[in-house]
């Protein structure tokens, strides 16, 4: 017997989040029970209602939200303020203006309680709703959200239910009132007057809502409409803030509690829209826009509507677009991001609801000032940064910073436009369809930055402590490093196997009529009943047995097989395939390829004075091409190659790689009729080659397939125990290959050149028939060994990352660059070799952060981050779930002692570390008592094999320096086991000693003693350490030498000696002395010249400033 149950939305006070609630049912027994057997709590977010994140779930990140429109009658595209997570200020809020912000260089994206209360109603615009952005995050103040849904039946059950929840509601009310009263103490009398007006206005709104939403069956109008799927629009009231209609006796009491939250708030401005509702008396509040202005529906901005300022990312792009738009538009560059995540610990605060601290680089203030001046007299601000996540974030940062400086007037229109190619038609078309900032893309940006920061700035300090000299780790960076290191481990563990191939050549009278000197090559494909594979013949003995049998046999043609093969054209380029092809055909690195592609996208100025972008946006994983572009491509193919070469139907392509988003078009020329030869003189050689590669690939993708005629002959002996096979193919229709034979593509010619006589071989095989007798001319045995897997090149690593779904198109090149910069990998002969430092980092992370280093986990995380971009996953919920698990790994790894790490690395790389030690027991050859072990230097650069009896025994067998440190590493004969007395100082009489250290040998003046730091100097400049004399040592101990005071600031300039050579130092500037230049010849003038040269670097930090941790790089 089915029974009815009623649903209640209860505030979830256990989790501590006032905008979480749980669904309960009132059973017939009069007790409130959870609707589901497990705890089912939900969260109100800016996209709707979704379940809270259970930290025990391992990888279930995705949240399928219930659209807010189903609950409050708003449209799905509506941006609802102050409902994202715990604090409204933490959501990207370019729509919340702050007219009273001060100019500071560090900001926290953390909202105040005032912003949350001002946005109590999702449909109202509150001018005074400002996110207080400060260096330190505000203390969160919870708000009472007493949301109830009561059914008409069960009045007594409803009353008992209210009694159950009254205590928590009172506690929350007191907490909320306390926070508000603290804020009221600093307000003047005028504010108090405005507060009373706001309170009365809010009372009226709530009273009308309670009365008008009642319907005959006792349910609120909102709930009734949702259950019946009615489309009537009602007053839009935030469900998380305002109670729905309930029985009359309870409604007034609930309303009274709710109104007290508004004490002290200014009266909100009510903007009325004509709603398509049958009830004409209901006033519909106007929806807020993303950028905070009253008009959410933006009008076309072309043709010009007043004076407009267009913000793009680069100066080159600004110049090109300015030519298209004329004087009514001023195009200015932002030069990338105007602010960035603070490069120090604490920039992302998980304990404060993932609030974020931003910093503004010094150059950005100049760019912001230019923007502020430009928009002072403008009617429109148009944000035209790149059409991706980073571009959306740049636009958001620009708005936030201009608001911070009080630079945006109320009457100015702020719009976002995107275009995928920089052409006049594309730019003007984009201006005709402006939009607001995509909050989901900004959320995705924030999630990625926060996630990469949390990983980098928690793992990197561990590396610094446990593995000195290892600089950083990151989400994508570490996965890419693991691929390289795992492949190296596979190669080391690979054991080659021997195998043999049997090849024979035949001739026939029929073949001789065509060419008397040509032989038919073939290979053994079957012996006896065994079909041969690669390792079938495992020894020379087996191969010779086959040779003997074959030599004594007669052969004829036992089978002829002919078929036609089509080879489809390649797909158009996406980011990864462009990088791979440029690497294999042009020998360009991914980073260099992206640099050239960026220049082609932003545009060039032609010799005739015009300018245009040459290719579409180059960071994409989409394969589709616009219909207009396809028509132009097909038209060019018809004109240039003929109608037979055009594909029978336009090719519609889609990406099959994991996590492909396909938000943009494939990479193609903006004008396919702009031939490569037309750009000679306008582009440099490498840029022209890359453009030619893109042009040819784009044309080829819409051409017919290449067609081949293939023939295969089986040649067997009389009893059929031996079978040889010969095959050949020839082109019958070139199809798309014609574009690579075009004169336009000479610079990137990639046609498979037919070997000499290949066509003739096909004719010979084609003239042979089944039963024709063949003569065995020669039989050859060839020995082979299986090869280990190939090391990754930069191109193949990009391909592997794409296959696994790790990273995004925009991060591949930067990820590989970081691995090089950190000295984790080096490139030799076109392949990536892991340095031992990189292998240690990978082993450490794989051992102590197993889940983080798992390839599938990293790929799944990319999927979840893409879901954030699509609005399917709440970004802070994703971060909470991940952070809970990651913190456990980090805490456990932090408790591991360095000796445990050394033992783990010694076990993992034992064969490599002790390969040169003759004694398997690893007995120390110096003291004969200790055992050689792997040690990590405390000073950061050295990893060495030493005696475990240190300091009693100071023997060092091997110092493990990376090959990138060859100039820094000591020579093989530079290890000094015991201090060597060179002599005494002629003035002080102190001993001059030659000693060995973790960075190599050095000379020291005086002996070690407590409280005294003897003077030391590196001897890295001397090749043969054993040849050092007392004269050499005294010369080295003269440094540092004061050259004088700098002519500009009067600060001292000194010349010092380090383990990498002589350097000039002035304040924080360090300039190397050129190799081969005698340091004794350095004058003050020469030192000043070197300090102003390109090789100068800065180090250290100004005295008194806090130490900054090194930024960990991700993507």
Q: Are 117 and 265 in contact (CB under 8 A)?
A: yes
143 and 241 Cβ atoms separated by less than 8 Å: yes
Residues 692, 675: Cα–Cα separation, whole Å: 8
Cα dihedral: 746, 752, 755, 760 (round 10): -110
Q: Residue 264 is encoded by which pair of tokens?
A: 């002290």
- From the list 324, 453, 617, 824, the catalytic residue is 617
For residue 912, with 0-12 CB atoms within 10 Å meaning exposed, 13-18 middle and 19 or more buried, which class applies?
A: middle
The answer to whether 615 touches 600, Cβ cutoff 8 Å, is: yes
CA distance 692 to 669: 9
User: DSSP string of 60-120?
Assistant: -----PEETHHHH---TT---TT-STT-GGGS--TTS--TT----SEEE----HHHHHHTS
**DSSP secondary structure of 478-544:** HHHHHHHHHHHHHHHH----EEEEEEEEEE-HHHHTT-TT--EEEEEEEETTEEP-TTS--SHHHHH
Among residues 516, 464, 433, the alpha carbon closest in space to that of 841 is found at 464
**DSSP secondary-structure letter at 1040?**
S
Cα Rg of the chain, angstroms = 37
Distance, CA of 741 to CA of 1046 (rounded, Å):
63
- Give just the sign of the alpha carbon dihedral 622, 624, 625, 628: negative
What are the φ/ψ torsions at residue 953 (nearest 5 degrees)?
-115, 125
| DSSP three-state, residue 1050 | coil
CA distances 772 to 508, 512, 557, Å, are: 8, 13, 5
Record the tokens describing residue 311, joined without a space: 């913000």
Nearest CA among 344, 342, 334 for reference residue 312: 334
Q: How far is C-alpha 778 from the geometric centre of its chain's CA atoms?
A: 58
Query: In whole angstroms, what is the distance from residue 339 CA to residue 784 CA?
Result: 59
Tokens for 761, please give them: 């071989």
Count CB-CB contacts under 10 A for residue 30: 11
Nearest to 195 by CA among 257, 132, 260: 260
- H or E element: which one contains 248? helix 248-259
Backbone region of residue 30 per phi and psi (left: phi > 0; alpha: psi in -120 to 50; beta: other values): left
Distance separating alpha carbons of residues 181 and 185, to the nearest angstrom: 7
Catalytic annotation present for 601: no
Read off the DSSP letter of residue 14.
Answer: S
H helical segments located in 955-1066: 1030-1036
Check residue 677 and report its DSSP letter: G
What is the bridge-based pairing of β-strands 308-312 and 380-383? parallel
What residues contact residue 676 under an 8 Å CB cut-off, 6+ apart? Answer: 688, 691, 692, 695, 744, 745, 747
Evaluate the CA torsion angle 801, 806, 809, 812 in order and state its sign. Answer: negative
Using DSSP bridges, classify how beta strands 308-312 and 329-333 pair: parallel, antiparallel or unpaired. parallel
Enzyme catalytic residues = 617
């Amino acid at each position: 017997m089915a029974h009815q149950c009623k649903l209640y939305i209860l505030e979830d006070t256990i989790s501590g989040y006032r905008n979480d609630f749980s669904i309960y049912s009132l059973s017939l027994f009069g007790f409130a029970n959870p609707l589901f057997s497990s705890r089912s709590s939900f969260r109100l977010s800016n996209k709707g209602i979704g379940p809270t994140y259970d930290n025990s779930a391992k990888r279930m990140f995705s949240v399928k939200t219930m659209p807010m429109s189903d609950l409050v009658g708003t449209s799905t595209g509506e941006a609802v303020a102050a409902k994202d997570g715990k604090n409204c200020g933490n959501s990207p809020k370019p729509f919340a203006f702050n007219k009273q912000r001060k100019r500071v260089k560090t900001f926290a994206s953390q909202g105040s309680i005032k912003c949350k209360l001002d946005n109590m109603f999702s449909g109202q615009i509150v001018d005074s709703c400002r996110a207080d952005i400060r260096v330190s995050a505000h203390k969160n103040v919870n708000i009472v959200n007493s949301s109830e849904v009561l059914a008409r039946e069960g009045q007594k059950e409803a009353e008992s239910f209210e009694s159950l929840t009254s205590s928590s509601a009172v506690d929350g009310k007191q907490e909320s009132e306390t926070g508000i009263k603290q804020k009221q103490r600093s307000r003047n009398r005028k504010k108090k007057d405005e507060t009373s007006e706001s309170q009365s206005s809010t009372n009226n709104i709530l009273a009308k809502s309670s009365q008008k939403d009642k319907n005959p069956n006792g349910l609120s109008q909102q709930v009734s409409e949702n259950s019946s799927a009615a489309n009537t629009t009602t007053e839009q009231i935030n469900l998380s803030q305002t109670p729905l209609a309930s029985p009359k006796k309870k409604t007034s009491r609930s309303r009274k509690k709710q109104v007290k939250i508004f004490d002290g708030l200014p009266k909100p401005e009510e903007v009325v829209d004509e709603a398509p509702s049958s009830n004409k008396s209901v006033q519909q509040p106007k929806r807020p826009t993303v950028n905070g202005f009253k008009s959410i529906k933006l009008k076309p901005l072309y043709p010009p509507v007043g004076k407009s300022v267009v913000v793009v990312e680069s100066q080159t792009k600004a110049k090109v677009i300015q030519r298209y738009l004329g004087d009514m538009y001023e195009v200015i560059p932002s030069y990338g991001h105007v602010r960035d995540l603070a490069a120090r610990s604490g920039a992302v605060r998980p304990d404060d609801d993932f609030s974020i601290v931003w910093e503004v680089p010094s150059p950005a203030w100049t760019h912001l000032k230019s923007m502020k001046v430009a928009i002072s007299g403008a009617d429109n601000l148009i944000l035209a940064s790149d059409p991706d996540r980073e571009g959306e974030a740049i636009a958001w940062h620009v708005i936030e910073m201009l608001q911070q400086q009080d630079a945006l007037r109320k009457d100015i229109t702020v719009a976002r436009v995107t275009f995928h190619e920089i052409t006049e038609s594309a730019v003007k078309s984009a201006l005709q369809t402006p939009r607001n900032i995509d909050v989901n893309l900004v959320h995705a940006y924030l999630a990625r930055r926060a996630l990469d920061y949390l990983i980098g700035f928690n793992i990197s300090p561990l590396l610094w402590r446990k593995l000195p000299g290892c600089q950083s780790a990151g989400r994508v960076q570490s996965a890419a490093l693991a691929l390289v290191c795992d492949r190296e481990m596979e190669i080391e563990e690979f054991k080659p196997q021997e195998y043999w191939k049997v090849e024979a050549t035949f001739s026939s009278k029929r073949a001789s009529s065509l060419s008397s000197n040509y032989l038919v090559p073939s290979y053994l494909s079957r012996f006896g009943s065994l079909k041969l594979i690669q390792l079938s013949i495992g020894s020379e003995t087996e191969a010779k047995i086959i040779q003997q049998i074959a030599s004594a046999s007669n052969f004829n043609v036992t089978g002829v097989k002919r078929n036609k093969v089509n080879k489809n054209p390649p797909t158009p380029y996406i980011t990864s395939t462009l990088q791979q092809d440029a690497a294999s055909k042009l020998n360009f690195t991914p980073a260099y390829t992206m640099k050239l592609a960026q220049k082609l996208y932003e545009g060039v100025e032609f010799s005739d004075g015009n300018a245009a972008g040459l290719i579409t946006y180059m960071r994409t994983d989409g394969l589709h091409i616009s219909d207009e572009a396809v028509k132009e491509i097909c038209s060019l193919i018809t004109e240039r190659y003929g109608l037979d070469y055009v594909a029978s139907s336009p090719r519609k392509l889609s990406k099959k790689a994991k996590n492909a988003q396909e938000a943009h078009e494939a990479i193609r020329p903006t004008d396919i009729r702009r031939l490569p030869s037309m750009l000679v003189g306008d582009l440099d050689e490498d840029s022209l080659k890359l453009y030619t590669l893109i042009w040819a690939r784009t044309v080829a993708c819409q051409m017919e397939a290449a067609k081949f005629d293939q023939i295969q002959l089986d040649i067997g002996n009389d009893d059929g125990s031996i079978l040889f096979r010969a095959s050949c193919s020839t082109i019958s229709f070139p199809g798309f290959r014609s574009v690579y034979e075009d004169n336009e593509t000479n610079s990137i010619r990639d046609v498979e050149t037919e070997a000499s006589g290949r066509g003739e071989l096909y004719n010979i095989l084609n003239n042979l028939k089944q039963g024709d007798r063949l003569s065995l001319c020669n039989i050859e045995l060839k020995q082979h060994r299986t090869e280990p897997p190939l090391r990754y090149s930069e191109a193949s690593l990009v391909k592997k990352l794409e296959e696994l779904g790790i990273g995004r198109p925009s991060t591949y090149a930067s990820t590989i660059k970081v691995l090089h910069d950190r000295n984790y990998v080096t490139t030799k002969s076109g392949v990536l070799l892991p340095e031992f430092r990189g292998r240690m980092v990978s082993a450490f992370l794989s051992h102590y952060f197993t889940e983080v280093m798992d390839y599938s986990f990293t790929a799944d995380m990319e999927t979840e981050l893409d879901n954030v971009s699509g609005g399917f996953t709440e970004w802070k919920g994703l971060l909470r779930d991940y952070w809970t698990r990651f913190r456990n790994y980090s805490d456990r790894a932090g408790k591991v002692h360095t000796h445990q790490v050394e033992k783990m690395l010694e076990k993992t790389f034992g064969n490599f570390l002790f390969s040169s030690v003759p004694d398997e027991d690893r007995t120390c050859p110096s003291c004969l008592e200790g055992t050689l072990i792997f040690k990590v230097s405390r000073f950061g650069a050295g990893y060495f094999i030493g005696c475990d009896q240190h300091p009693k025994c100071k023997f060092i067998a091997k110092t493990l320096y990376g090959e990138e440190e060859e100039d820094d590493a000591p020579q093989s004969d530079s290890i000094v086991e015991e201090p060597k007395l060179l002599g005494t100082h002629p003035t002080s009489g102190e001993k001059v000693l030659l000693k060995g250290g973790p960075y190599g040998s050095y000379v020291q003046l005086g002996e070690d003693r407590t409280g005294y730091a003897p003077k030391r100097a590196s001897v890295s400049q001397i090749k043969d350490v054993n040849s050092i004399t007392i004269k050499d040592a005294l010369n080295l101990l003269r440094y540092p030498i004061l050259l004088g005071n700098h002519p500009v600031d009067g600060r001292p300039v000194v010349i010092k000696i380090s383990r990498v050579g002589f350097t000039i130092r002035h304040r924080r500037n360090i300039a190397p002395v050129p190799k081969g230049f005698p340091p004794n010849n350095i004058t003050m003038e020469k030192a000043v010249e070197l300090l102003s040269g390109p090789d100068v670097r800065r180090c250290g930090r100004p005295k008194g400033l806090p130490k900054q941790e090194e930024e960990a790089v991700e993507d």
